Amino acid sequence: MQSIPVDTSRLGVLRCAVEPEAKLSNFETKEVKKDRDGNTIYTVAVMVRQEGRRVSVIEISVTGEPKGITEGTEVRVTGLEAFSWAMGDRHGISFRAAAITPVHGSSAKAGGA
C-alpha cells in the first residue's frame, strides 16, 4: 500500500468532530488495535472546511492517545498521509498522521457559549 502525503496547509480549518477513540482490530471481541511496538492506535474524526460552507469529515489514525482534544477543538495534524485500499468489492481511502494536537487558544465553546 503506497502512502500519499497530504498538504494540511491547503485543508483550511481542522476541528475535532469525534474525540479520540481506541481503534478496534476485532469488533466482536473488542480487541484494541496496536502498532508494531505495542502502542494503541487511536482514531480521531476531523472536520475539514476549506472554502465556503462545505464540510467533510475524515477519520485519522494516530499512534498513542492525542491529549487535550475534545469535540469542537481546532487541531493541527502533522505528517498526514492518505492510503488507498481495496478488499473484495469494497474500496476507499484511509488516513494516518504522525500526531494530532490542539491548536492553543481554540475552544469548542468560544464565543461565550
Measured distance CA(105)–CA(76) in Å, rounded: 12
pTM over 0.95: no
- CATH fold of 3-102, please? OB fold (Dihydrolipoamide Acetyltransferase, E2P) (2.40.50)
Output the tens digit of pLDDT for each of the chain's 113 residues.
688 999 998 888 899 999 999 999 998 999 999 999 999 999 999 999 877 778 899 999 999 999 999 999 999 999 999 999 999 999 999 999 999 999 986 555 444 43
List of residues 6+ apart from 3 with CB closer than 8 A: 81, 82, 83, 96
Return the H-helix or E-strand segment holding 84: strand 81-87
